[in-house]
Amino acid sequence: MDKKDTPNNIQPGENTAVLLMHCPDRPGIIAILTEFINDNGGNILYLDQYVDRVNSVFYMRVQWDLTNFTIPADKLRDYFDTLYAQRFDMTYNLYFTGTPQRMAIFVSKMSHCIYDLLARYRAGEWKEWNIEIPVIISNHPDLRYIGEQFGIPYEVIPVTRENKPEAEAQQFAILEHYNIDFVVLARYMQVLSDNFINRYPNRVINIHHSFLPAFIGSKPYHAAHQRGVKLIGATSHYVTADLDAGPIIEQDIVRITHKDTVDDLVKKGRDLEKIVLARAVEKHIQHKILPYGNKTVVFN
Amino acid sequence: MDKKDTPNNIQPGENTAVLLMHCPDRPGIIAILTEFINDNGGNILYLDQYVDRVNSVFYMRVQWDLTNFTIPADKLRDYFDTLYAQRFDMTYNLYFTGTPQRMAIFVSKMSHCIYDLLARYRAGEWKEWNIEIPVIISNHPDLRYIGEQFGIPYEVIPVTRENKPEAEAQQFAILEHYNIDFVVLARYMQVLSDNFINRYPNRVINIHHSFLPAFIGSKPYHAAHQRGVKLIGATSHYVTADLDAGPIIEQDIVRITHKDTVDDLVKKGRDLEKIVLARAVEKHIQHKILPYGNKTVVFN
Amino acid sequence: MDKKDTPNNIQPGENTAVLLMHCPDRPGIIAILTEFINDNGGNILYLDQYVDRVNSVFYMRVQWDLTNFTIPADKLRDYFDTLYAQRFDMTYNLYFTGTPQRMAIFVSKMSHCIYDLLARYRAGEWKEWNIEIPVIISNHPDLRYIGEQFGIPYEVIPVTRENKPEAEAQQFAILEHYNIDFVVLARYMQVLSDNFINRYPNRVINIHHSFLPAFIGSKPYHAAHQRGVKLIGATSHYVTADLDAGPIIEQDIVRITHKDTVDDLVKKGRDLEKIVLARAVEKHIQHKILPYGNKTVVFN
Amino acid sequence: MDKKDTPNNIQPGENTAVLLMHCPDRPGIIAILTEFINDNGGNILYLDQYVDRVNSVFYMRVQWDLTNFTIPADKLRDYFDTLYAQRFDMTYNLYFTGTPQRMAIFVSKMSHCIYDLLARYRAGEWKEWNIEIPVIISNHPDLRYIGEQFGIPYEVIPVTRENKPEAEAQQFAILEHYNIDFVVLARYMQVLSDNFINRYPNRVINIHHSFLPAFIGSKPYHAAHQRGVKLIGATSHYVTADLDAGPIIEQDIVRITHKDTVDDLVKKGRDLEKIVLARAVEKHIQHKILPYGNKTVVFN
């Protein structure tokens, strides 16, 4: 089992393009776009599509090898704009796996999520997606040792009710300094301002420790214990202005019993949280999530 | 695989007693009660206990064979009252598997839950628990054919906002006529009055088609679709005066994706609902549920 | 919740066509086939495709509304043969939801799977797929009452080691009499001959009570208990000449503990078996299974 | 959520005793043993018991606070031997949470399991169980950086078919030097000799990447892909002389589809493996596993 794990047989280091798009449904879109890619020397590695027949919306993700593709990457957007954007009323994003994606991790005091993310990063699980994690930001100094273990700058910015605007200004400065593309809140126990969220729309991923929409807000394990539920959950979602109400990316649950104390829920929940968050992060970096309205299309 | 399935090797038709109790925790309760049973010729078939160490409460379920038990069943309650109830400040129930338990099923128009319950009943899955289902009550005539298929009286009592007290009076008359012990709401789409619930405390089992406390009330699958969740659930609980807020007995979930329409959720939910309801009913008839506060201890 | 549950919003009674095909992968197949359907007035209701990039095979399922489709259903095969079969080296099946699919159920003595199937059938869950269940065949008379409850002929054909060829000859006569399209073995405890299987290739669905390939053959719950596993499973598969080795359609598991006796496994397994079998049957009748080699592509 | 997670409210650093025992079932054992503990000033924090009624064996785990316990820890074994061992024909182990448990981790080239274990260790998840991880042993130098990150000696001992006895002799020397109590094989890709296993009976925990007994031996993900299963699993077990056939501690599965390549199985399997292994390790260090025959009783 020495081979690098590569979904869909994409080799690390390959230079590929990803088109993630949606538009009003109409016949022939797949045909036209795949022909365009094929005719210009692109070898399609992945294609998944979905039609929302109730609202007549067509969603697609196509990934192709750029090795023999005759259109230069930096002209591709022009081609799509000219040829298809208006014609299909198409909203799209283009990504190139040759371009690094720079992730910042925010943490508070709990280490299970950040350790899980950094272990994957260090093991090269995301290598073909060209992920870089240049900085960790925290409101507490407690986990500085993790930054040191992994050789990643760990910036402490204390946050209080009073200093939030100033604290966020500092955070922005750091995010800009490191040219950050998206933010992962790995059990970061502070609510972000609307200002923050508007700067990074659908680019801040949070893990909430309940199966949303149940137990919104703080202390969901206490609330779950109080209610006497027989399973607890975790939900990963894009952060929006409404607390814990953003588009859900991934959820999972684990069974509990009357024997479990709140502390047991916390403990069982930790494994859930880190796995659910990692799945969401992975879908994000693979450009497999298409947010629409307050929901997500998540390709597999 | 011809043998009847008998959990813990209790043979159908065996005459056993079940003690379900809780009291303030103190040392030696298990010893004293098991000695009492053993010394009087009872052979213990099952013992499970749980100590809530936060609130210092001891919960236990003991089941023993009455074949050589020297105390007559109808005197047993006297013995427990005299010897232990006050001494241990013990709240308890005694059940005898030789005594029939009479279940009424309430339905509206959907058949999946009632079919599942009746198939188990007819197959003899609950025979050792001496279950009888003498009547089905519905607010619609649609499923009368199921009553006919299984040879069970199917009583139609239409319910409107206006006639609810009269309708419930009719229901009570039927429940009393058939000497009903407990009621299973197998997707019965009417809210019961407090009056009804008070007559059958912890003896009305409902199935709600969401993972409570999310999506309380009507149309939870529509709400789940609207919210964009990635899993849907079902919850079985005892009915209390607060809508969908009674003690939870069992919950489970199934994964969905963006491809699932509301109709798909309804469909996937059906299998979940019937299995979750059946598990709860089975725990109830085995006297393995100990409600406390607004929660349940559920022994396995 | 009065609406019929209709996946993908296909209304019961609608007349649709389903194309299930695979061929060597090459660009433009989706485009060409969807254009063909669209150009001839077909409204595509469902399209899912999958490319096996290792073996370069393209798999697709398309379903479209025939209401305004200008090519008569009985000519459609000619068109596909002439236009595409050779050109794409395409293997395909065409189905019309207006044509009844006739299912026979085989049972022995256990009722949980057949009850579950018949409850779905009677509730109309499969109505839009035009399912008919005209006959039940058993090697034992025990479940005759179920045939009577549902008004379906129940044919008893005892099977012994000695009489198997004669017994199967009787079975074939019945299957032909009722014009049966496919057979569901709902815990039928006899091995079918190669002769039987060759007559119904990929048209006999079995439920095996283990997570195959573990615990092949008889008494898997005993073997599972003996091995001390912590979960038990069920597997639905097409029957082939090799015992329990046919293409797997669906599997699921349930957790067990050291407390569970063999009888408990039997009991927990029953719920699993019926749900796993029903899921497989449903995929089959929706023409969503594409067997290839000894595996299946199962569209959702 | 600043509180340390402590199952059953045992505080880290508390000095407690754990009795793990089994004996032929007879009335009154719980009473006698709990009275003994109570009478000598022990406060019971946890008691779970299980009776195998088929074989008439009684299993129990009791944990109690030693703060006011009047019998010195080092005399306790004498008391049990004298008072109960012969009387009840009791097999037992006594553990003291004040005594360190020293774990060695064996790895090869894959980092996901060891990272997960070390992250828990470093986060203090096992603090109350007094775990120490003084050494990592590997047959490859690849993961030396992890030892360095966590400040744990990383000993490289290459293993070939020829040098296995010598290599194991080196391993034994290291294990003895560090006074190791038990070994965790965190995807260590070498089979241990009988000699090794006999030195550490029920003290070597392995993670196998399949739901055993399916896909024993090497390359189970390839075998699973080949067979076309719809779910893959992982199994944690004590290592015995028979390959992948030791007592199972924990298993779990994850769903796959026809779309998943072998590499996808490897990837999905990783998350499963690390969680299943961690659960098993945790049960082991909590002294909640009672191996019997080739199975395990696992208390929760």
The string of pLDDT tens digits covering residues A233-280 is 999 999 999 889 999 999 999 999 999 999 999 999 999 999 999 999
pLDDT, chain B, mean: 93
DSSP C34: H
Question: Any CB–CB contact under 8 A between A296 and chain B?
Answer: yes
Token output for B252? 């489970």
pLDDT at B27 over 80: no
pLDDT at A2 over 70: no
State the average pLDDT over residues B43-50.
Answer: 89
Question: Any CB–CB contact under 8 A between D31 and chain B?
Answer: yes
Query: What pLDDT score was predicted for residue D54?
Result: 86
**Segments of A66-121 assigned E as strands:** 91-96, 101-107
Residue in chain C nearest D57 by alpha carbon: C259
Specify whether the CB–CB gap between D188 and D139 falls below 8 A.
yes
B positions 94-153 inside 8 Å of C (CB): 109-112, 115-116, 119-120, 122-123, 125, 149-150
Which residues in chain C land under pLDDT 70?
Answer: 1-13
Query: What pLDDT score was predicted for residue A13?
Result: 52
Q: What percent of chain A has pLDDT over 90?
A: 86
Strand bridging mode B182-185 / B101-107? parallel
Look at the alpha carbons of A147, A148, A150, A153 in this order and tell me if their dihedral is positive or negative.
Answer: positive
Query: What pLDDT score was predicted for residue B35?
Result: 86
Question: Any CB–CB contact under 8 A between B40 and chain D?
Answer: no
Reference A120, options A289, A299, A274; nearest CA is A274
Position C245: which residue type? A
- Supply the pTM of this predicted model: 0.94
pLDDT at D7 over 60: no
Contact D115 A123 (CB under 8 A): yes
Q: Which strand ranges, in their side-by-side order, compose the sheet holding C91-96?
A: C43-52, C57-65, C16-24, C91-96
Region of C55 (left: φ > 0; alpha: ψ -120 to 50; beta: rest) is: alpha
Chain C CB contacts of B278 below 8 Å: 271
pLDDT at A3 over 70: no
State the average pLDDT over residues B98-104.
Answer: 96
Token output for A98? 């040759």
Token output for C140? 């034992």
Residue in chain D nearest B30 by alpha carbon: D31
Rounded to whole angstroms, the Cα distance separating B278 from B79 reads 35
Reported ipTM exceeds the 0.90 cut: yes
Contact B230 A249 (CB under 8 A): yes
Rounded to whole angstroms, the Cα distance separating B186 from B116 reads 10
Angle between helices B29-39 and D29-39 (to 10 degrees): 150
Q: What percent of chain B has pLDDT over 70?
A: 96
Chain C CB contacts of A51 below 8 Å: 47
Looking at C65, C116, C181, C244, which residue is catalytic? C244
Strand bridging mode C131-138 / A289-292? unpaired
DSSP A81: I
Strongest mean pLDDT among D9-18, D44-53, D235-244: D235-244
pLDDT at D32 over 90: no
Phi, psi (5° rounding) for residue C238? -75, 140
Interface-testing mutation among C1, C122, C256, with chain B (most B C-beta atoms within 10 A): C1
Query: What pLDDT score was predicted for residue C266?
Result: 97
Chain D CB contacts of C228 below 8 Å: 247-248, 293-296
Strand bridging mode D131-138 / D101-107? parallel
Three-class SS state of D85: helix
- Cα angle: B221, vertex B223, B228; to 5 degrees: 95
Chain A CB contacts of C32 below 8 Å: 31
Using CB atoms, which chains have 3+ pairs under 8 A with C?
Answer: A, B, D
State the average pLDDT over residues A17-22.
Answer: 97
pLDDT at D79 over 50: yes
Rounded to whole angstroms, the Cα distance separating A279 from B1 reads 42
Place of tokens 């559920």: B298
Query: What pLDDT score was predicted for residue C30?
Result: 83
Query: What pLDDT score was predicted for residue A1?
Result: 30
pLDDT at D44 over 60: yes
pLDDT in tens, A204-220: 999 999 999 999 999 99
Token output for D222? 């390839």
Query: What pLDDT score was predicted for residue C4?
Result: 35
State the average pLDDT over residues D191-209.
Answer: 97
pLDDT at D228 over 60: yes
Using CB atoms, which chains have 3+ pairs under 8 A with D?
Answer: A, B, C
Residue in chain D nearest B41 by alpha carbon: D27
Interface-testing mutation among B49, B50, B258, B261, with chain A (most A C-beta atoms within 10 A): B258
**B86-to-B23, B53, B92 alpha-carbon distances in Å:** 10, 21, 11
Rounded to whole angstroms, the Cα distance separating D219 from D225 reads 10
Contact C54 D261 (CB under 8 A): yes
Residue in chain B nearest C11 by alpha carbon: B263
Chain B CB contacts of C3 below 8 Å: 263, 266
Question: Any CB–CB contact under 8 A between A231 and chain C?
Answer: no
End-to-end Cα distance, chain A: 23
pLDDT at A150 over 50: yes
pLDDT, chain D, mean: 93
Distance from CA of B116 to the nearest CA of D (A): 26
Specify whether the CB–CB gap between A248 and A207 falls below 8 A.
no
pLDDT in tens, D153-180: 999 999 999 999 999 999 999 999 999 9
DSSP D201: T
| D212, D230, D295 ranked by CB distance to C258: nearest | D295
